[in-house]
Structure 1
Amino acid sequence: MSLIAAAPPLVRTTPPSDPAPLGVVSAGDWWPEIDLAAMRDTMRLDGAVTAARLRAAVQDAMATTIDQLAAWALVHMTAGIASLADVPTALQIDGESSAVQRFRRAVYCTAKANLIERYSDYDTTGRARKDTQEETRDGQAEEHRRDATWAIRDILGVPRLTVDLI
């Protein structure tokens, strides 16, 4: 007699108290740095995403986000504003500019969407049938891209949705 037990795949996780430094990603003095450990914790990324993969995803996400904000940022830079944190905004939350918080959210969500598309997230493994896992992964990636787009549009001060009648 034999027994075959099917269980969800084991995923090596890195506890939040892991002292291994992940560092920060910087794009110059005007843009906020992204702390990789904070991003890993905030976006629920486990140890299956290595530090090198996380850094590469964040670098690409920062480039994408900054490209979308480039013209807006140039206007503020030429006006003499020293950093994104110094851009006058109506809202300060926990002593931090909402523009900085939204920039961070755009980077986090773009990076997570890219990672989800390449690596099965633990949210999509073990429970769903194999044929629906890709759909679930794609849906999660699109939700993160939507959140990133909304964060960028909020920084720009434009509506999140534009509807045209055809």
Structure 2
Amino acid sequence: MTFIATPVIASEEEKYITSSEFWPAISLSEFRNIMRLDGTVTDERLKHATCSSILQVNNELKEWRITHQTNGHNNLVSIPAEQINNQSEYLLLYQRAVFCFAKANLIERYNDYDSTAKGIKDNEELHDTTTSLRRDGRIAIRDILGVNHVTVELI
């Protein structure tokens, strides 16, 4: 067993990814801390995965956003919601969806580095992790929309 130190990201300034004025900016350092990402993920990869995730989540919530904007809510946190630690539940759910989809995207790209038998085995183990992250992102979106987590149809 060998120990390989991974670099710690020391950011001079806080970096955010922004989208429309309705949605909150996403802090890349908060994303790194919450999702336990170290310096092996470069800022460029992190930005790319986060932007892609924001696009996906914003697209899935587009009609919901338009409805709330029509009702006079100019941003996500202005919508009446339960507060957890003085933060809107919608804000927390939005961040969770973005973070989960972005980390799943990053994990799926890690097998680019190693195509050996060990790399293939590790990729199979990571598949469960990416599936769980995508599920958690879907649940967060469905919670924002106020719909059930499971849809069942009889054939």
The TM-score with structure 2 as length reference comes to: 0.90
1:156 is aligned to 2:148: no
1:11–1:48 contact (8 Å) kept in structure 2: no
Q: Within 2, Cα distance between the matches of 1:20 and 1:138?
A: 34
Q: CA RMSD in A?
A: 1.9
Q: Stretches of 4+ moved more than 4 A in 1?
A: none
1:49 is aligned to 2:41: yes
Q: Within 2, Cα distance between the matches of 1:66 and 1:134?
A: 29
1:104 is aligned to 2:95: yes
* 5+ long unaligned stretches in structure 1: 1-6
* 1:137-148 correspondence runs (5 A): 137-148=126-137
Q: Within 2, Cα distance between the matches of 1:62 and 1:104?
A: 9
The TM-score with structure 1 as length reference comes to: 0.84
- Specify the structure having the higher radius of gyration (Cα): 1
The equivalent residue for 1:10 is 4
1:93 to 69, 84, 89: 84
Q: 1:12: Cα distance to partner?
A: 1.4
Q: 1:132 to 1:97 in 2, by over 3 A?
A: same
Q: 1:22: Cα distance to partner?
A: 4.8
The equivalent residue for 2:32 is 40
| CA deviation profile, 1:91-138 (whole Å, cap 9, x unmatched) | 110111100100000000000000000015xxxx9xxx5442111111
Q: Within 1, Cα distance between the matches of 2:20 and 2:135?
A: 26
Q: Within 2, Cα distance between the matches of 1:64 and 1:79?
A: 24
Q: What is the letter of the counterpart of residue 119 of structure 1? A: Y
Q: Within 1, Cα distance between the matches of 2:98 and 2:70?
A: 24
Identity of aligned residues (%): 36
Q: What is the letter of the counterpart of residue 153 of structure 1? A: R
Q: 1:165: Cα distance to partner?
A: 2.2
**Per the alignment, in what secondary structure is the counterpart of residue 111 of structure 1?**
helix
More helix by share: 2
| CA deviation profile, 1:4-57 (whole Å, cap 9, x unmatched) | xxx357251316xx3433500000211011000000010011101001110111
The equivalent residue for 1:4 is none
